Amino acid sequence: MPKWSTTLLSLIVMGTLAALAVPVRAQDTVTFSSVDVSILPEYDRPSVLVIYDFIAPQTATFPFDVSIRIPENADLLAVAYLDNGNFLNTPYDATQVANGWRSVRFTIENPAGYRIEYYDDYKKNGTTRTYHYEWAGDAEVLSFQLTFLQPRGAKNTVTDPDLGSGIMNAEGLTEYGTQFTNLAGGQTISLDIQYEKTNDDLTVTGSPVQPTTPLTTESGGLNLNNILPWILGGVGALLIVGGIVYFRMSGQQTADPSRKRHAPVQADESGEGSIYCHECGTRAQPSDRFCRACGTRLRT
């Protein structure tokens, strides 16, 4: 084989390998504009509600797949995307478990916003509660916000790292928070929380946080949108049948008086020389020239 042919073949092979390598590197590096993590112990369950809110950069190439790790034994509540101000369920896979983590895999379709919600266990020792949170570093994050909501009735809260004294929100609850910027892929963030609470009351009572409503055809509930056309069709059919019956009965009631009104009346055998209307049979007076009932000229 000529030397130039060998060189050309090598360039073709190297170019092909480089082209195949580009999408692999692009998929391995996931970047989010922001990730907001909310940690809510004893909020509406005797456990810890953790909420992730993800926003992808506008410059990202959509769609792309992402895998976010949560604790292996966590109760995954929902994976959802934001649509016109509402969160709707999005397909995901959470079957892969390794090293104490459960991988939640889903597809980012647009930069509108995505969410993961799950419940995790905390430790309780008398009146002392403790919880350990960790971000596994599954993506590059330009802005990472970490917020802890102190449960109603809790006191003597201590956090590591120290999140300060916290601020009071509109609901009268104390929020603690901190922010990190430019997190690299693989960079972890952890937070240890300890507080005291003398009862098991939840922060929210009577109006618990509702899971994001699934928007799938697999739901076991009754879908009104599916049965509404049948309901309307049935009502329309009943109205048509009722109208037909009504008009038929009205026609019968109108015809009966006509037949009675024109029924011949037998002459009274004892009334010799009496005059009767030949149309309706009504008895006339000797001086009558027209029937007093129907107005027909009498045959005298």
| DSSP for residue 300 | -
Torsion, Cα 279 284 287 288, to 10 degrees, reads: -40
The rounded percent of the chain whose pLDDT value lies above 90 is 58
Task: Report residue 54 as tokens.
Answer: 């993800």
Task: Report residue 216 as tokens.
Answer: 């799938």
Residues 147 and 175: beta-carbon distance below 8 Å:
yes
pLDDT at residue 21, rounded to an integer: 41
pLDDT band of 294, cuts 50, 70, 90: confident
Q: Mean pLDDT across the stretch 249-265?
A: 46
pLDDT at residue 247, rounded to an integer: 61
Q: Which amino acid is at 273?
A: G
Tell whether the model's pLDDT for residue 230 goes beyond 60: no
Which of 269, 275, 273 minimizes the C-alpha distance to 289?
A: 275
Kindly list the structural domains of the chain, giving each domain's residue range(s) and its CATH number in brackets, ordered by start. 27-215 (2.60.40.1730)
80/117 Cα distance (integer angstroms): 9
Which of 261, 253, 268, 271 minimizes the C-alpha distance to 291?
A: 261
221/268 Cα distance (integer angstroms): 78
Compute the 3-state secondary structure of the chain and give helix, strand, coil in percent, each to the nearest 5: 20, 40, 40
How far is residue 110 from each of residues 81, 107, 246, 248, measured CA to CA in Å?
9, 9, 59, 62
Which residue did the predictor score with more confidence, 9 or 24?
9
pTM of the model: 0.62
pLDDT at residue 2, rounded to an integer: 57
Query: What tens digit of pLDDT does each residue of 163-221 get?
Result: 999 999 999 999 999 999 999 999 999 999 999 999 999 999 854 444 444 444 333 33
pLDDT at residue 277, rounded to an integer: 80
Which residue did the predictor score with more confidence, 137 or 231?
137
pLDDT at residue 205, rounded to an integer: 81
